[in-house]
Structure 1
Amino acid sequence: MAVVGLDCAFPGAADPEAFWDVLMRGADAAGAASGTRWDRADHPDLAPAGLMADADAFDDEFFSIAPREAAAMDPHHRLLLQCAWRAIEDAGVSPAALAGTGTGVYVGAMGGEWGRLTLADPDRIRPQDGSGSSAAMTANRISYHLNLTGPSMAVDTACSSSLVAVHLAAGALLAGECDTALAGGVNLVLSPVLGLVYDRLGVGSPDGRCRPFSADADGIGRSDGVGVVVLRRLADAVADGQRVYAVIRGSAVSHDGRSNGVTAPNRWSQQKVLENAYRRAGVTPDRVAFVEAHGTGTLLGDAIECAALGTVHGVARPEPCAIGSVKGNIGHTEGAAGIAGLIKAALALHHRVVPASRHADRENRQLRLADRGLRLLKSPLRLPPGESLAGVSSFGMGGTNAHVVLASAPRVRPARPQRGRRARWDGGVFTVTADTPEALRRNLVEQEAALARRPHGPAAALCRLSNRTKTGLPYRFAVAAGDTTELAGELRRVLGTAGESGERPWGAPVVAFAFTGQGSQFAGMTAELYRDSARYRAHLDEADAALAPHVGVSVRDLIVEGADDLRDTGLAQPALFAVGYALARTLTDLGIRPAAVLGHSVGEIAAAVIAGALELPDAARLVAARGALLREQPAGGGMLAVGAGRERVAELLAAEPQVALGAVNGPGDTVLSGPVEVLERIEAVLAGEGVRTRMLEVSHAFHTPLSAESEARFRAAIRQLPAGAPAMPFASTYRGRMISDDPSDALDADYWTGQAARPVLFSDALAALVGSAAPTHLMEIGPRAQLLPLVGRAGLPDTPCLLHPGPGGRSGGRELAGVIAELYRAGLDPQWEALYEPGRPLADRLPPYRFATAHRYWARWEPVRTPAGPERAVERPPAPAELERSRVEPDAVLATVIDAIVQVGGYAEDVVRPQARFYEDLAFDSVMIVQLKVQLETRLPALGELSVHHLLPALRSIDSLAQCLRELLLVTAA
């Protein structure tokens, strides 16, 4: 089993980085107890405890939990929810991606102090107190709020709880019960009670600090702590490219059996659990470099544990086995002690250095460590190359022992870079999401600060990791960046503006593809993208292979090498087809599925392939024959773009019969086709009228009637072309409308013959596409933007957002990433992996989600806020008697509903707006609905008993409920 993600918080260490810093400095993070939890004056002789900062802070809005429920929740639940989210992100996975999966959750916790604190007074019991004080909910809330459907259970074996949870999670993965498992533990010193118990037992440390294996060891010092690890089968983790902190080689759990008292440790049982774990791991104890021991710092406990460790590890070996205990740094975290030790050992294997043992300078000589083949580390131990092994022990007060064998992560050979041209672009799209605009900005600040500490380098690995982890929440930020300096600058730029940092799309974008025709080609078109994008390379190579037998040369080579041969129509049209096909396939690989397509002139052939009306080999034969035919047209022809409508052009055509209408691109955009000398004459006339004109870069007069001989030869060349029907809405620029299901509309040899010789009705086709598919975005597919200006001038009632993967002619990885970023902000969920080179590694880590800390909850039974915001409502007596009347004015009904909702949920009154939705905004559940029913019956007695079934349809918003109640009151009054 692989440890692929982790998160933790302990006294003096708010996250894994700070925890590792504490360990490496050998710091003492146990601090004095704060007066916010209990009054120290009542117990002046009680030792202080190691308390976490901000243990009362909870982002209830993020998890859609009503304030009153959050206030009733055991703080263990609240800490674990946030810790689990951050651990999943650390595993390189978006928590949203695990929703609906059979991911398992195993949580170790001991005691039930919150229940004793909240359930002691029967007069203050609330409906939420049942689930709020339940030990099972430590795991179940994680599964519920993250929508995980695998095994979900809490474990209480006292101080070994969280390591037993790891053992159970690993077993579930081995048994195939789940593919991912969260395992962790939590402990908060909520009251002085257990400290008093330790004191009465004579095992409490007078100054509240643990000194494992030290001559100064004098007992247990209690501490807070929370930690979660994400486990997967090693093969799955490696296949998905996840970072592996350490590998669980094996584990074992046992009980002391009958010994010298139920709370007394048993040397022989501890020895047996070690032996079982190593046997299951398939390793011998002499290979274990270090053991993270239980090490409470009690004289009896340390002596028994060292005796058991020495019996197992005191074998012939080059160096004694190093032992230590994290309790010397952070105190005894009780139910979280095992996970604290496991995370320490995993980080040590990951960094390949074992932190020094705190208090090693005052080793307890009575433990005879050297004689037993053990040693305390006075300085950090560098682990040698190759696999290193570690053991982690945790023993419960009631006799349940656990031991886990860890190994360093196997070395994974990086993928060899593909041969060929080296990509100039080594970036991607950096994404961040959050649940509110304020949270998005807060998390962007966090990411920018982390980027500022990074050295300059490519951004691809960071971007790819952000796509995996920082997605799934409603408010979205995305930006294309090539290196870390550029990325940090983009974040600073956004944060420096007063406007919104991101967007909340309410649905996926509707994207239509418009394929460019001839005239957009140029030397070296998309050559940069060919270097930068593996997907584009693959698809252009595919198109090139299909065209080569018909064209006789490699159009790919002509494109990539920037050859001038693309001026030749016989090569230009196949090359444009190849580019259009490869671009479209690359975009569909990235998850952009067109809702409709159209193509201008030769662009319609690539559009037909993407729409499923043509197979690639047939399309290659068609475009090659088309290019060859048009190349053979009489020389001296050209095309003139005219900024005038059909009426004015019709007058010109009547006067110049040698010229034909080549294209109708918009209300004021037409193209004339004919002899160049005639077009020049027309151009001079129009210039005198102030009409804009432009000669197009084409070799012949296209879209003019073909000679009978030419038409016959073209039809013969494509006679075996299958008659295809598009599988998606297809706007025909030949027919000027959407292609129907009628067989007469099939894209057969007759269609393509007429399509080459008749005018391009782009304007009509565009109007039909917009009316049929209603796209929010129109993407031009081609080497440079030619159609988008026409669309902008088309006078559409709702012009879609216009996009191009190579605006201005430059098409590279940056431009492609920019398009994806824009569509992601608009609601697209891309196939991110298609944006990066195969085998691209992930970055080590990104800062985890930064939750809001403004809302504070503790053992006060009411939710409160920090001074940064308005105080939340507390319990109030029932509504005054004046509200209890048979008829209530409309405003009074709304005010009554709002007051009742405030009482049920404990919300701040400014949150309960008439437009607020019960489920999405106020996080109502079935318990709260029943409470609201009772509140409304009390305040509006004229209604009598309300039916929950009758209320449910009205629970869309506060306004809708108030309207429903007004109608009921009118009926009652009548």
Structure 2
Amino acid sequence: MDEIAVVGIDCAFPGATGTEAYWTLLMSGGDVIGPVPGQRWDPADFPGTPDSGGFLADADAFDADFFSVVPRDAAAMDPHHRLLLHCAWRALENSGRAPGELAGSDTGVFVGVMGGEWGRLTVGGHGRMTPQHGAGSSAGMAANRISYHFDFTGPSLAVDTACSSSLVAVHLAAGALRAGECDTALAGGVNVQLSPALGEVYAQMGLAARDGRCKPFGASADGIGRGDGVGLVVLRRLGDAIADGQRIYAVLRGSAVNQDGRSNGITAPNRWSQQRVIDAAYRRAGVAPADVRFLEAHGTGTALGDAIECAALGTVHGVERAEPCAIGSVKGNLGHTEGAAGIASLIKTALALHHGIVPASRYADQENPQLRLAARGLRLLKSPLRLPPGESVAGVSSFGMGGTNAHAVLATAPRTRGPGRRPARARGERTAGFGVFTLSADTPEALARNLAAQAEAVARRPRGRATGLCWSSNLVKTGLPYRFAVAARDSAGLTDELRAAAAGEGHEPHRPWRAPVVALLFTGQGAEFPGMTAGLYRDSHTYRQHLDEADKAIAPHLGLSVRELVLGGDERVLEPRYAHPASFAVGWALAATLGSLGVRPAGVLGHSAGEYAAAVHAGALELDEAARLVVRRAELMARLPDTGGMLAVGLGAEEIGRRRDEAGDAWRDVTLAVVNGPHDTVLSGPRDTLRGLAERFAAQGVRTRLLAAARAFHSPDVAPVAAELRTEPVACNRPVVPYASTRYGRLLGEEPLDAAYWAGQAERPVLFDDALGALVATAAPTHLIEVGPRPQLLPLAGRTGRVAGLDLLHPAHGPDAAGRELAELVAALYRGGLDPVWEALYAPEERVSEPLRPYEFATGHRFWDRQAGPGEPAAAPVTRPDDDPGAAGSEGDEPPDEVLAAVTAAVAEVGGHAREKVVRGARFYEDLGFDSVMIMQLKDRVEHRLPQAGEVSVQELLPALRSVGSLADFLSGLVMANTR
């Protein structure tokens, strides 16, 4: 039988919300039984039933806005459905996947739920039925709502086999996975005590514990104590889970379901059927009873049930073995969670296998001697059982009141090789890399709430590297509208950043409406320095790969390793012979790294020699061809006289021309080489002449800077180089990305990037300012990224006045730059709307899944508030149209008129929204959560409130349903037409 992996878990039980709290409760032997909350019912009104049980504190809390459920629907919805929606999201997160990524997939949903108590409580009166109550009280909707809200298309069904419902749901989910009906399945169950009705049934049958506590296999066992709970597991075929690198809690080796048939009463257990279902499960799992180290029994704590179950277990497991088989039941901690009982047991067992230890059994020190456990090869655990290394096998039983029995066989997860072994490094061993911790939420308030929760969770962890946490957050905590991202190396620094962001310090919530539009600026000559990008090479495996690739392309032409030259601190990197190839290698590798991370430029611009790398990333040159041309250009430039230089001047081109005309011989052999902006130019010429000009400008209050250039580039001195370049064959293509040419000062048109282009580009002025203007006008970027060893073009671009409002980014800020700068750039792009290829940011050995705090849903809205007996309505009455013929005004963006007021009142009534939320600009589907049923209800309400508009067909109404205002405008037109 194909094995099934348990890859995700979430649960909420009384006093234990989440798997961590649940495990703590189990290991501490906790007891969560307490008095009946006043919200549920008054025990005094129901004598003979226990006045205590296990109750969830927040069963009425539901983050309706998160799931786009309107208040009216939320109030009519069974609390079981609401709990399952929260649990499903968190379970999928726990499986290491962002829930939104599964939208449209064949994921299946299998939910165990008992009875239909909510429907009996809410729609008993004839006049109270609404479509919302009809859907809200359906047991089948418990699964269907999850499939609907998450957009799953696989099998979706609710299972009611009484107390075995949720384990049967797991069995069915595993079967669907094996049959190929789905690739991922959510399975589990839920139980909320909505009234004392079932407790009364237990009492009348003599099955209710007087103190509301189950005492499985204990001498004081006197019946059932009830409990709330919800739990879901995420299941996948084992091979798929391993292939995707998911954490595996345990493996479901096999399971079986059967029925008691005609036994001693439909509610009485059948020992022989229990034995058969256990034997069948072991047979399917390929294990022998002697292989089973511990059993999570059904264990209700009733005299008859415990006796029959122990007899069945003893018959199957009482074989020759090294030590007795351990048994226990979580009902001793929680009470009997009925529809969630099987999943409570299965989650306990999966966690025990995951942690390698089985919690002690409550009441083990008060063992019922009549059960003869030792004689049957069974034992209760008085202290936790440490599991040995290797595989351990466990069984889980769950029996339904009507005779449907289930048994599942779980085993330790296999030891799998991690996502990658640490590879040998070309130079230096990294102690800690940088990652990007991401978080997303549906509102700014939710983002702050989750930031605070994550901060406290990270703070409780042992201090250490944060890359695993960052990697996990990239897989799980993305996909919602409001985004947060921060670069992090260690958990202590990450905690500080999260706390500051939660407090609103320095981190604004971002809601990008589209992906960022990125333009790349490729740095030219003059930015190089010994050891440039050495820190990034050490920290980024992707940059290492690309710089190595550039080195491989350049080395045959240069005669040495440009990588060693760049990283080794070699001063030759400043010489023209080597500076151009080195800068090209760095620029190309940085841009290629960004490409691997998912950055697709909308346009490129290269400054001077930076055009070669820009041409490669625009698709105009192949890497090998560009490498050959760059090396050839550098060789030729190195032959020029070294008496030339370049001077940066804080004046515009026109002012430079005027002063040159006035100065005459003082400017002899000096050329305007670069126009970087309205107040940024560069002169090229003899170094001595440039020094004299610098002194002259300084006396006039003009800023200047003598550049480190060793030649008079972009001047008549370069004519011999240009002549040689015109004879150089060039294999080029038309750019596939808009290419802003700094030779022409505009976007490249039909001109090829051939030998003539590169010759002219070497000797003609660099028209950066004009090229930048053309790039910004055409590509309309939101982000400018300079790719080079340090920022050189971004300050210039900022002074042009052309990039106001754009984000200016750089992956390497200079000599001290390492992995942080690249991570910060990726964080900024993520906040701006990019969904990066996260694998490119982390080395294989850093892609380790680590548990993160589950999503923190809002708890401020409560949709179930019961203060009286079971016969009273649980949801607030809904106003009908004839109850309120007058319509209140809207508190929208514009003063309400009669029609807008009527529309606002009708929308608020149908959706149950507060009037202040129904503003003119509110959209029906995105903001107000309307669906087709509500649209029909709205049509009736509007026609009732605005009879002067006449009857409106659905076909007429639908185009107007863009927003509240558009509907009001449409109806206003009808009213005016009908009253003329």
Check if 1:834 corresponds to 2:843: no
Q: Bigger CA drift: 703-712 or 748-757?
A: 703-712
The worse-fitting range, judged by mean Cα deviation, of 698-707 and 54-63 is 698-707
Q: Which residue of structure 2 lines up, in the alignment, with residue 164 of structure 1?
A: 168
What does the per-residue CA deviation read over 1:525-574, in whole Å, with 9 as the maximum and x for residues that have no partner? 10000000000000000000110000011111112211111011111111
CA contact (8 A) 1:653 1:660 kept: no
The aligned counterpart of 1:496 is 503
How big is the shift at 1:187? 0.7
Q: Letter of the aligned partner of 2:138 in structure 1?
A: S
In structure 1, the residue matched to 2:43 is 40
SS in structure 1 at match of 2:483: strand
Distance of 2:860 and 2:74 partners within structure 1: 13
The answer to whether structure 1 residue 61 and structure 2 residue 65 are counterparts is yes
Of the structure 1 ranges 538-547 and 254-263, higher mean CA displacement relative to structure 2 is found in 254-263
Q: Hey, what does 1:393 align to over in structure 2?
A: 397
Report the counterpart of residue 867 of structure 1 in structure 2: none
TM-aligned CA deviation for residue 711 of structure 1: 3.3
Q: 1:121 is matched with which residue?
A: 125
Q: What is the match of residue 599 of structure 2?
A: 592
Match of 1:581 among 576, 588, 594: 588
Partner of 1:466: 473
CA distance in structure 1 between the partners assigned to 2:154 and 2:138 by the alignment: 19
SS of the residue corresponding to residue 687 of structure 1 reads helix
Distance apart, 1:218 and its partner CA: 1.3
Q: Is the 8 A contact 1:734 1:755 kept in 2?
A: yes
Closer/same/farther in 2, CA of residues 162 and 666 from structure 1, 3 Å limit: same
Residue 649 of structure 1, CA deviation = 2.0
1:538 and 2:545 correspond: yes
Query: Does 2:764 match 1:755?
Result: no
Aligned equivalent of 1:663, options 674, 688, 699: 674
> Any idea what SS the aligned residue of 1:524 has?
coil
> Which residue pairs with 1:901 in the alignment?
907
- 1:719-868 aligned at under 5 Å gives the runs 719=729, 721-740=730-749, 742=750, 745-796=751-802, 798-858=804-864
Q: Counterparts of 2:763 and 2:508 in 1: how far apart (Å)?
A: 51
One-letter code aligned to 2:711: H
Structure 2 SS opposite 1:703: coil
1:883–1:336 CA distance, 2 compared to 1 (3 A): closer
1:715 paired with 2:726, answer yes
Distance 1:883 1:481 in 2: 54
Question: How far off is 1:600 after superposition?
Answer: 0.4
What is the alpha-carbon distance in structure 2 between the residues aligned to residue 124 and residue 859 of structure 1?
17
2:687 is equivalent to residue 676 of structure 1: yes
CA contact (8 A) 1:645 1:666 kept: yes
Residue 682 of structure 1: how far off its partner (Å): 2.1
SS of 1:856 mapped into structure 2? coil
Maintained 8 Å contact 1:72/1:861: no
State how far apart, in whole Å, the 2-side matches of 1:838 and 1:153 are.
39
Residue identity opposite 1:727 in structure 2: V
2:583 counterpart letter in structure 1: L
CA deviation vs aligned residue, 1:812-858 (integer Å, no higher than 9, x gap): 11111111111111111111121111132434311101111111112
1:615 paired to 2:594: no
1:436 aligns to 2:443 (yes or no) = yes
Match of 1:964 in 2: 970
CA contact (8 A) 2:637 2:718 kept: no
Q: Deviations over 1:222-277 (max 9, x none)?
A: 11110011112222222322221111111111222222222222222211111121
Tell me whether 640-649 or 549-558 shows the greater mean CA deviation: 640-649
Matched, 1:15 2:18: yes
Once the two structures are TM-superposed, the CA of residue 413 in structure 1 deviates from its matched residue by: 3.7
Q: Which amino acid aligns with 1:606?
A: A
Q: Distance in 2 between matches of 1:545 and 1:495?
A: 47
Q: Could you tell me how far 1:321 is from its partner in structure 2?
A: 0.5
Correspondence 1:950 to 2:956: yes
More displaced 10-residue stretch of structure 1: 702-711 or 939-948:
702-711
SS at match of 1:904: helix
1:132-211 alignment runs, 5 A limit: 132-211=136-215
Contact 1:515 1:600 in 2 (8 A): yes
Shift of 1:861: 12
Distance 2:256 2:932 in 1: 42
1:358-377 to 2 correspondences below 5 Å: 358-377=362-381
| Partners of 1:291 and 1:390 within 8 A in 2 | yes
How far 1:323 sits from its partner (Å)?
0.5
Following the alignment from structure 2 to structure 1, what is the Cα–Cα distance between the partners of residues 576 and 263? 93
Q: Which amino acid aligns with 2:288?
A: T
**Matches of 2:213 and 2:866 in 1, distance apart?**
28
Pairing 1:445-456 to 2, within 5 Å after superposition: 445-456=452-463
Give the deviation of 1:169 after TM superposition: 1.3
Q: Which residue of 2 aligns with 1:921?
A: 927
Q: Which residue of the other structure, out of 556, 562, 565, is the alignment partner of 2:569? A: 562
Distance 2:322 2:453 in 1: 46
Moved more, 943-952 or 525-534: 943-952
| Offset of residue 220 of structure 1 | 1.3
Separation in structure 1 between the aligned mates of residue 494 and residue 753 of structure 2, nearest angstrom? 47
User: Matched residues in 2 for 1:382 and 1:547: separation?
Assistant: 59
Q: CA deviation at 1:809?
A: 4.2
TM-score w.r.t. length of structure 2: 0.95
Q: Which residue matches 1:29?
A: 32
Instruction: State the shift of 1:586 in Å.
Output: 0.8
Determine the C-alpha separation between the residues in 2 that align with 1:315 and 1:881: 77
Is the 8 Å Cα contact of residues 805 and 819 (structure 1) preserved in structure 2? yes
Which residues in structure 2 correspond to 1:629-708 (within 5 Å)?
629-651=636-658, 655=664, 656-705=667-716
Aligned to 1:868: none
CA distance in 2, matches of 1:938, 1:755: 75
Structure 1: gaps spanning 5 or more residues: 863-870
Q: How does 1:231-242 map to 2 (within 5 A)?
A: 231-242=235-246
* Aligned-partner residue type, residue 3 of structure 1: V
TM-score (norm 1): 0.96
Q: What is the SS of the residue equivalent to 2:433?
A: coil
Structure 1 position 910, deviation (Å):
2.0
Shift of 1:811: 2.5
| Aligned-residue offset at 1:500 | 6.6
Q: Report if aligned partners of 2:290, 2:317 keep a CA contact under 8 Å in 1.
A: yes
User: Quick check: 1:248–1:406 contact (8 Å CA) kept in 2?
Assistant: yes
Tell which deviates more after alignment, 548-557 or 502-511: 502-511
For the Cα contact (< 8 Å) 2:40–2:867, is it kept in 1? no
Residue 499 of structure 1 and its aligned partner are, at CA, apart by 7.8
- For residues 16 and 720 of structure 2, the distance between their equivalents in structure 1, rounded to whole angstroms, comes to 84
Q: Name the CA shift for 1:701/1:799 in 2 (closer, same or farther; >3 Å).
A: farther
Q: CA deviation at 1:881?
A: 5.1
Q: Is the 8 A contact 1:652 1:682 kept in 2?
A: no
Percent of aligned pairs sharing the same letter: 63
Q: Which amino acid aligns with 1:468?
A: L
CA pair 633-823 structure 1, distance change in 2 beyond 3 A: same
Distance across 2 between alignment mates of 1:519 and 1:312: 81
Inter-partner Cα distance in structure 1 for 2:386 and 2:886: 76
Aligned to 2:943: 937
Distance 2:913 2:720 in 1: 82
Change (3 A) 1:708 1:562: closer
Q: Deviations over 1:748-797 (max 9, x none)?
A: 12211221221111111101100100001100000100001111111227
**Would you say the 8 A contact 1:387–1:409 is kept in 2?**
yes
- Partners of 1:434 and 1:619 lie apart in 2 by 45
Let me know the Cα RMSD of the aligned residues: 1.9
Aligned amino acid, residue 512 of structure 1:
A
Instruction: Find the aligned partners of 1:413 and 1:500 in 2 and give their Cα distance.
Output: 38
Residue 712 of structure 1, CA deviation: 3.9
